[in-house]
Every structure is written in C-alpha cells, then in structure tokens.
Amino acid sequence: MAADWDDLRSPESYLGLARTENFASPRRAARGNPHVYAAPVQLQLNQWALTGNWAFENEAVVLNDGSGRVVYQFHARDVHLVMGPTTQGKSIDFRVFLDGQPAGAAHGFDVDDQGNGTLTEQRLYQLIRQPPPVTDRRFEIEFQDSGVAGYAFTFG
C-alpha cells in the first residue's frame, strides 16, 4: 500500500553517524566505542534517541550489551526500520510500543498485536501501521539481546 502522503510529517531518518540528524540523547553520538545512552523524557517531532549500550558506526547503530531501545517521535501512518542481526543466522526478539503501550491495532506486518517480533535478517521491517486518525506519537522498539544493527527509519 502506498504512503499516506496527507499525514506524512516525518522524513526518512538515518541512524549511522555519517548521516544522522535529530539525535536527542543527552550524550552526543560518538563513533566506534560503545557508550551507554539514555532517552530524554520528551522528544520533539522527528527527534530520536537510544537507551542502552550502543556504538555508532558510519552506516548503523549497533547494540553491544544486553537490552536496548530506539525511541522516535513521529507523525505518519507507518513506521519502518531497516535493521538486522550483526551475526548471520542469529534471531533477536523485539517489542514495539506506541506512547508506552503495546502496538495493539496499530501493529505492522512484522509484529503481533502485543508488539512482539523477531529479527532474523537484515531488511526493512514494518513495525507500525496506525488506523486513523494519525497524530504525533512516541515510537519505541526494545531489543532483548545485543547484536542488533539499526540503519534507517522510513515512514509512510
């Protein structure tokens, strides 16, 4: 299904250090070495943040140790994330939330109504497909294990 252009106010957003914009964690993005990041309580529209132990690479952010989250304040019907495990053949469970609650009726193709999904390969995952009306929302994806690489958000 085509993007909902009338309700699309969030642009494609790259997570890797080479092209990242609107990163809002209090600790600045730092190349290479893992750092523990935290998300602010509130984000402005199109800002994003990390929680947990992540490393910025040129094209991706990589979860290094334990669980972690990516948080994004968006305005669109659909949320997609290009991501995958850093080790081929590894599966990593994740869960998505809207405004702190399980995705419910707004879940995308790659998650169930409780927001649960499994990362099995590097590709674009459809995480949210909101029913009308579309409003500004806080999206969160929580990974249960390290070894995740996140590349880019796209919206529709």
Task: Write the pLDDT tens digit of every residue in 94-126.
Answer: 999 999 999 999 999 999 999 999 999 999 999
What's the predicted TM-score (pTM) here? 0.95
How many structural domains comprise the chain? Answer: 1
**Residues 29 and 56 sit within 8 Å (Cβ to Cβ):** yes
Task: Write the pLDDT tens digit of every residue in 67-80.
Answer: 999 999 999 999 99
Average pLDDT over residues 79-94: 96
Can you read off the two tokens belonging to residue 6?
């009338």
| Consecutive H or E run containing 56 | strand 48-56
Residue 7's pLDDT is 82
Confidence label for 32 from pLDDT (cuts 50, 70 and 90): confident
Domain holding 56: CATH number?
A: 2.60.120.260
Task: Write the pLDDT tens digit of every residue in 133-147.
Answer: 999 999 999 999 999
Residue 1's pLDDT is 65
Full residue range of the structural domain in which residue 15 is found:
5-155
Cis peptide before 133 (omega within 30 of 0): yes
